[in-house]
Structure 1
Amino acid sequence: MNHLPTRATTDVAAHPPVTEPRPRPHLVAVPSLPDSSRTDDEDGSLVAEYGLLAVVAATMCGALILWSRGDALTNFFTTLLNHARSIVAG
């Protein structure tokens, strides 16, 4: 006597239905509320600090541009490569 089933049977409990994947949450930028503990004097000094920082950054960029226009940049990289070669040559 053959105990094997004659046709394929499926058990619904063994194979739960396929569900759609959960959607990923989208990150949304939420504007922050101003800090109520700050006073107007602190806001003004913060603006002045950022302004001073911008002036310093612009000055440094200008100095870098002037320095790179001459042969200083070429000499810097030549010296750097020569030093690296001397280390490798031992």
Structure 2
Amino acid sequence: MATRAPSRSGAVRWRNVVARNWVTVRAAPQHGSRLLGSFGPDTRIQLGESRAGWVRIRSRGLSGWAHQARLSTRTVRAGTLAQR
């Protein structure tokens, strides 16, 4: 599976979305890595870089990795990222 190369500036582009289901957040992009926490449905989150089926995720002070196959989201319109 191909992953996106980082931008030339090295900055990660974050995308604002809302989780449709429970999202498990791990310390590294692998199933055996330490569990950091989770986000419930309707939580506004940000998605960053992708790596081998995993996506970097952050919200409410928690940052880590979520498996893309278990991640269901909907897009947030610009200017509506206020935390719930």
**TM-score category of the 2 structures, normalised to the smaller one:** under 0.3
Compute the TM-score of the two structures, normalised by the length of structure 1: 0.15
Q: Larger RCO: Structure 1 or Structure 2 (Cα < 8 Å, ≥ 6 residues apart)?
A: 2
Which protein is bigger by CA-based radius of gyration? 1
Higher helix share: 1
Compute the TM-score of the two structures, normalised by the length of structure 2: 0.15
